[in-house]
Structure 1
Amino acid sequence: MAHERTRDVVLTYRYLRGAMIGLLLMLLLSVGYQWWWETGHSCWLGSISAYYYTPARGIFVGALCALGANLIAYKGHSAEEDVLLNFSGLMAFVVALVPTEPDGRCGPNAYTQTAPEIAAAVRNNIWSLLVVAVLAAGVVAWLQRPGRAAARARRTVRSVVVSIACGAVVLGELVLFLALRDRFIALSHGIAAATMVAGVIAVMVLSALRVDERHQGRADGRGSVYKRIYITLAVALAVALGTAVLTAVSVAGLDHLVLVSEVIIIALFGTYWGVQTKELWDLRDAHGPEARAAGPTAE
């Protein structure tokens, strides 16, 4: 019975990781389909977010919300990774629910909305997200209260610093939403998108730093290989993110560079997630069916 429970946990974990790769691929395919079939492969919008106003809207919102939920559900390998994954997941919801400005490059948008209609949608969606986030935080705090087994993760200086940094971004977004609604609609999408990716980059670096710990006792040298891959992907992702942010805020006439950077960001994250899935899959198999109940891959 214990072995069956372990198997269920590991399979659920693996399917969760696989689903996240599928969501990223679905988002890219939806945007590619819109470009190829709907515009006759003659016109690209300036960013992936701009496809919110096209027939790709359903996939854009649905994929990002599902990705956000999966990031929150996924448990990191350390307290700080867990904070960053939760933060990036929450920001993914904001990216999905607060649209960017319409892009008129490819003619009239399929889903034209007035400013009041967008504001009404943002109010509805963000209030719903806010209430659920507060309830979820309350449940987590109750489960991790002193004396319960769930409160097992010892806080470190690094996890406290990460929590403060992520909390400052969330607090800033909350202040904008409650006090400066117009500025929230104008700014929050970009802030959420950039910080969501920044959180993922931090997770990649932290994962690379813990590779040796995960591969302790193995002499095949794979740990060093995975560490180099993760650091390389994190650096490339940081460059792509910096390019997208700088282009969006300061460079005129090169707006498609934002779209290209976003596609690269999605591809790099998908690559990292796939490589890490392979790493953790191998670790689980190496420990065999008698590994501890959750196994290394389910922690």
Structure 2
Amino acid sequence: MSSVAPDDVAAQRRAVRDTYRSLRLGLVALVVLLGAAVTLEAVAAGCWQTSVSAYYWTGAHDALVGGLCAIGAVLLAYRDTSELENTALDVAGALALVVALTPTSQEPTCGGAGVPVAALDVVPGVRTGIGALIVAGVLAAVVRLAVRPRVSRTRLENVVRVAAGVLLAGLGSLFLLDAERFATTAHDLAAVGLFLATAAVVLLRGFAARAVSARWGYAYSALGVTLVLALATVVALRATVPTWRHAVLVTEAALIALFAAFWVLRTIELWGADAPPPRGPARARRGTA
């Protein structure tokens, strides 16, 4: 029976650690890419669109779609030690891809009355893009189930996993049954779901981190609470100041910045740490982390 040399084991651990570090830093870099593209386009136009999504119809289109697709793929690939967090990452990743591949209403260059997405000929592109996403998603899910070791989950983890599957299956069913309605509604639904799933990732990490380090637990919890408060504050301002046309843009910018801050904190926390051992059926379970 052959044995693995200590140097080889160390090299493998280093490779895993560096890969996960690169994924986390990659998410931050992709957020910078999105922010830079939107800012450069706004400077060129001399004004701001009313949402990040509205830049789909501008010169920032390629960076926006490519960046969101890359973020979605990384979130789907990234695994952590909490099954609840992994489920939230899966939902966020899948919805980021839906947001990228479904447009919102088209605005004039400097805002004002826009063209509703229902009046635009977007269905053929959405049908192709989302159809390809469903094919790739189903194939990836089958392969993951086939090759992944069985993991013991709590009842809560199973319920949340099933609920996430039902949510994504519901979006897929809407596309298959009524592609036109999907094309006009999926972007907004997926965007809201993406931000909620992102908030869940941050808050769940705060709960899980407390068992290891109170400092990191409080840091993640504070970030998650700030994320929720930012959303609530802008919603309240939008209700009380209806003439504020850029409420959605400010909300999205704040949430995206907090998303990047989370991955910066995660990178700092785990900079020199090896990958955690996988959870298996034989491992004792306490709680959900």
TM class by smaller structure: 0.7 to 0.9
Q: Distance in 2 between matches of 1:253 and 1:157?
A: 47
1:5 paired with 2:12, answer: yes
Pick closer, same or farther for the CA change 1:76–1:247 going to 2, 3 Å: farther
Pick closer, same or farther for the CA change 1:211–1:243 going to 2, 3 Å: same
1:245 Cα deviation (Å)?
6.6
Residue by residue over 1:110-148, the C-alpha shift from the partner in whole angstroms, topping out at 9 and shown as x without a partner, is xxx99563111000000000000011111112124xxxx
Residue 183 of structure 1 corresponds to which residue in structure 2?
A: 181
1:295 Cα deviation (Å)?
2.9
1:296 paired with 2:276, answer: yes
Residue 39 of structure 1 corresponds to which residue in structure 2?
A: 45
1:141 paired with 2:145, answer: yes
1:238 paired with 2:228, answer: yes
1:25 paired with 2:32, answer: yes
1:206 Cα deviation (Å)?
1.5
Tell me the SS of whatever aligns to 1:92.
Answer: helix
Amino acid in the other structure paired with 1:32: T
User: Residue 76 of structure 2 contacts residue 89 of structure 2 at CA under 8 Å; is this kept in 1?
Assistant: yes
Residue 291 of structure 1 corresponds to which residue in structure 2?
A: none
User: Residue 210 of structure 2 contacts residue 216 of structure 2 at CA under 8 Å; is this kept in 1?
Assistant: no
Q: Distance in 1 between matches of 2:161 and 2:21?
A: 27
Pick aligned residue for 1:164 from 144, 150, 162: 162
Q: Give the TM-score of the pair, scaled to structure 1.
A: 0.82
Pick aligned residue for 2:262 from 272, 282, 289: 272
Pick closer, same or farther for the CA change 1:172–1:247 going to 2, 3 Å: farther
Q: Distance in 1 between matches of 2:255 and 2:130?
A: 25
User: Residue 247 of structure 1 contacts residue 255 of structure 1 at CA under 8 Å; is this kept in 2?
Assistant: no
1:248 Cα deviation (Å)?
8.3
Matches within 5 A, 1:1-299: 1-36=8-43, 38-40=44-46, 43-104=47-108, 106=110, 115=119, 117-144=121-148, 150-151=149-150, 153-213=151-211, 215=212, 223-242=213-232, 252-282=242-272, 284=273, 295-296=275-276
User: Residue 280 of structure 1 contacts residue 296 of structure 1 at CA under 8 Å; is this kept in 2?
Assistant: no
Q: Distance in 2 between matches of 1:247 and 1:121?
A: 35
CA RMSD of aligned residues (A): 2.7
Amino acid in the other structure paired with 2:45: T
Moved more, 155-164 or 67-76: 155-164
Q: Distance in 2 between matches of 1:245 and 1:180?
A: 31
Tell me the SS of whatever aligns to 2:152.
Answer: coil
Amino acid in the other structure paired with 2:220: Y
Residue by residue over 1:21-73, the C-alpha shift from the partner in whole angstroms, topping out at 9 and shown as x without a partner, is 0000110111000111x113xx2111000000000001100000000000011
Tell me the SS of whatever aligns to 2:142.
Answer: helix
1:19 Cα deviation (Å)?
0.6
Q: Distance in 1 between matches of 2:265 and 2:154?
A: 28
User: Residue 210 of structure 2 contacts residue 218 of structure 2 at CA under 8 Å; is this kept in 1?
Assistant: no
1:229 Cα deviation (Å)?
1.6
Q: Distance in 1 between matches of 2:107 and 2:224?
A: 30
Residue 287 of structure 1 corresponds to which residue in structure 2?
A: none
Identity of aligned residues (%): 36
Tell me the SS of whatever aligns to 1:106.
Answer: coil
Pick closer, same or farther for the CA change 1:184–1:250 going to 2, 3 Å: farther
User: Residue 56 of structure 2 contacts residue 103 of structure 2 at CA under 8 Å; is this kept in 1?
Assistant: yes
1:255 Cα deviation (Å)?
2.9
Amino acid in the other structure paired with 1:273: W
Amino acid in the other structure paired with 2:275: G
Task: Structure 2: give runs of 5+ residues left out of the alignment.
Answer: 1-7, 280-289
Tell me the SS of whatever aligns to 1:268.
Answer: helix
User: Residue 10 of structure 1 contacts residue 297 of structure 1 at CA under 8 Å; is this kept in 2?
Assistant: no
Task: Structure 1: give runs of 5+ residues left out of the alignment.
Answer: 145-149, 216-222, 285-293
Q: Give the TM-score of the pair, scaled to structure 2.
A: 0.85
Pick closer, same or farther for the CA change 1:273–1:256 going to 2, 3 Å: same
